């Protein structure tokens, strides 16, 4: 598998619960454990203003790129600075690089991204740019016409992504999330809103019931896997009860279905707010481990 990463994904968010130090801590662990190295790490490039404009309105881009606090930018609930905006533009470009690589058929993790709450005209929920939608529209611009399935397993509904692709039959959006939590829900092609406290077995059973028929029907040429770490039982923002082992089973399940569908997978980290940062790093690490095992072994 491949990784897309830069140390410039880090930005000082002044003690914010959304921690960008996750990214270098995860990359260091991937290198230490032999999963990532110079041979399989691609550098990101900043998304261009044309690429950002494939999804976002010129009014919003004018506000955010000029670091203005307006209703459209403060809804991101993030501090704003040039460093922060630049880091997220680089992360969005990283998702484009990951998608361009994954269309060849492998698994590619952008160590960042998955910012599924961002809408065309405003930021939301720690998400300034919807890198998922930007990467998909950049692929379309380069002539990629296959069906795309977005499998969003972050604790929170992928509301921005659902909204952006609501009228686009070429992108199937699937979101499995905690129902009684942020955000205000939009309509995905399939939403599974879970009760508070849902644990491993029920979660896995639902995933294994719904995902195979989606793959069979949609026959995607590429899967975007939004591998949020926040369904974890000890997450500070979440109310689901998955264990670290259950999250690994989730990863294996989604990635095995992508592999079985014969297509590549773009893996994005999205949320992850465990009480202990090392748990979040472990959850993201084992997502990469699952991708490496499933895509390397030829297992389906
Ligand atoms: Zn989340």
pLDDT (tens digit per residue) in 253-288: 999 999 999 999 999 999 999 999 999 999 999 999
Residues paired with residue 107 on neighbouring β-strands, in sequence order: 265
Burial bucket for residue 255 (CB in 10 Å: 0-12, 13-18, 19+): buried
pLDDT, one tens digit per residue, over 7-29 is 999 999 988 999 999 999 999 99
CA of 85 to the centre of ligand 1 (A): 20
Give φ, ψ of 129 to 5 degrees.
Answer: -130, 135
For residue 298, pLDDT over 60 is answered with no
* Residue 44, C-beta contacts closer than 8 angstroms, at least 6 positions apart: 4, 5, 6, 9, 90, 91, 93, 94, 97, 110
∠ at Cα 14 (13, 17), nearest 5°? 70
CA of 43 to the centre of ligand 1 (A): 25
CA of 179 to the centre of ligand 1 (A): 12
* Rounded Cα distance, 210 and 279, in Å: 28
- Half-sphere exposure in the Cβ direction for 58 (13 Å, CA): 1
**What is the pLDDT of the chain when averaged over all its residues?**
97
Range 46-58 average pLDDT: 98
* Rounded Cα distance, 273 and 24, in Å: 16
CA of 65 to the centre of ligand 1 (A): 24
- Half-sphere exposure in the Cβ direction for 53 (13 Å, CA): 8
pLDDT number for residue 297: 76
CA of 45 to the centre of ligand 1 (A): 25
Range 238-254 average pLDDT: 98
CA of 224 to the centre of ligand 1 (A): 16
∠ at Cα 78 (75, 84), nearest 5°? 125
CA of 286 to the centre of ligand 1 (A): 18
Neighbours of 53 (CB within 10 A): 16
For residue 247, pLDDT over 70 is answered with yes
For residue 219, pLDDT over 60 is answered with yes
The alpha carbon of 34 is separated from its chain's Cα centroid by a whole number of angstroms, namely 23
CA of 62 to the centre of ligand 1 (A): 27
Q: What is the dihedral of CA 70, 71, 77, 78, to 10 degrees?
A: -20
CA of 108 to the centre of ligand 1 (A): 20
CA of 220 to the centre of ligand 1 (A): 24
The CATH label, of 3.30.70.260, 3.40.630.30, 3.40.800.20, 3.90.110.10, for the domain at 2-297 is 3.40.800.20
Q: Where are the domains of the chain?
A: 2-297
* Rounded Cα distance, 34 and 51, in Å: 33
Contact 161, 120 (CB under 8 A): no
* Rounded Cα distance, 157 and 107, in Å: 23
CA of 154 to the centre of ligand 1 (A): 5
CA of 155 to the centre of ligand 1 (A): 5
Contact 192, 240 (CB under 8 A): no
* Rounded Cα distance, 144 and 140, in Å: 5
pLDDT, one tens digit per residue, over 142-162 is 999 999 999 999 999 999 999
CA of 240 to the centre of ligand 1 (A): 11
The alpha carbon of 230 is separated from its chain's Cα centroid by a whole number of angstroms, namely 12
* Rounded Cα distance, 139 and 147, in Å: 11
Contact 118, 161 (CB under 8 A): no
CA of 22 to the centre of ligand 1 (A): 14
CA of 116 to the centre of ligand 1 (A): 9
CA of 38 to the centre of ligand 1 (A): 30
CA of 270 to the centre of ligand 1 (A): 6
CA of 1 to the centre of ligand 1 (A): 25
Range 98-110 average pLDDT: 98
For residue 299, pLDDT over 80 is answered with no
For residue 300, pLDDT over 50 is answered with no
């Amino acid at each position: 598998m491949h990784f897309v990463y830069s140390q410039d994904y880090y930005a000082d968010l002044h003690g914010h619960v959304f921690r960008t130090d996750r990214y270098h801590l995860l990359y260091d662990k991937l290198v230490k454990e032999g999963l990532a190295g110079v041979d399989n790490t691609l550098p990101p490039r900043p998304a261009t203003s044309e690429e950002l404009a494939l999804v976002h309105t010129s009014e919003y881009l004018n506000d955010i790129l000029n670091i203005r606090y307006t209703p459209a930018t403060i809804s991101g609930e993030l501090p704003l600075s040039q460093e922060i905006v630049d880091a997220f533009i680089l992360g969005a470009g990283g998702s484009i690089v990951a998608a361009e690589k994954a269309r060849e058929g492998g698994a590619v993790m952008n160590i960042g991204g998955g910012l599924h709450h961002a809408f065309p005209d405003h930021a939301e929920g720690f998400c300034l740019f919807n890198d998922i939608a930007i990467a998909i529209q950049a692929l379309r611009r380069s002539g990629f016409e296959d069906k795309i399935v977005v499998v969003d397993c972050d604790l929170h509904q992928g509301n921005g992504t659902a909204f952006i692709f609501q009228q686009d039959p070429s992108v199937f959006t699937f979101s499995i999330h905690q129902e009684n939590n942020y955000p205000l829900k939009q309509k995905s092609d399939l939403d599974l809103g879970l009760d508070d406290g849902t644990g491993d077995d029920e979660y896995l059973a639902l995933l294994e019931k719904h995902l195979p028929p989606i793959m069979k029907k949609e026959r995607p040429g590429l899967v975007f896997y939004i591998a949020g770490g926040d369904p974890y039982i000890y997450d500070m923002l979440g109310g689901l009860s998955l264990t670290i082992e259950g999250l690994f089973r989730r990863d294996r399940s989604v990635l095995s279905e992508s592999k079985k569908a014969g297509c590549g997978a773009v893996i994005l980290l999205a949320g992850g707010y465990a009480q202990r940062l090392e748990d979040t790093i472990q959850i993201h690490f084992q997502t990469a481990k699952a991708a490496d095992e499933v895509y390397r072994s030829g297992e389906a």
